[in-house]
Amino acid sequence: MAHCFPAYALLVAAFVLLLAGVKAAAVAEAHYGQSDAGQIVIDEVVGYMMAMYLVPVTCWTLAASFSCSGSSTW
C-alpha cells in the first residue's frame, strides 16, 4: 500500500505531539489539581502512535488496532 507521506512523518508528528502534550498536561494538572488526572490522555495517544509505527497498514491491522485499543476495564 502506497503512503502519501514519508515513513518518518508519523515519528515527527508523535514527537511534536509529545512536546505540545507535555506543556498541555502541565496546564491540565494545575487545573484539575492532581498529577496524571484521568482526563489527561496525551501520553496514551503518543504511545499508541509509537506502537503502531512499525505495523504494516492493511485493513486487517487497522481493524485489529482499533478493536484492541478500547477501554482498559475489560
Domain ranges, residue 40: 15-20+34-52
The answer to whether 34 and 2 have CB atoms below 8 angstroms apart is no
Does 70 fall in a domain? no
DSSP 8-class letter at 8 = T
The tally of domains found in the chain comes to: 1
Does 46 fall in a domain? yes
Of 54, 57, 46, 48, the residue nearest 12 (C-alpha): 46
Of 27, 73, 30, 66, the residue nearest 48 (C-alpha): 66
* Residue type (1 letter), 26: A
- What is the predicted pLDDT for the residue at 4? 62
- What is the predicted pLDDT for the residue at 43? 83
Does 66 fall in a domain? no
Residues in the chain: 74
Successive 10-residue mean pLDDT values, the chain, 74 residues: 66 88 89 83 83 79 72 50
- What is the predicted pLDDT for the residue at 13? 86
CB-side neighbour CA atoms (13 Å) of 28: 15
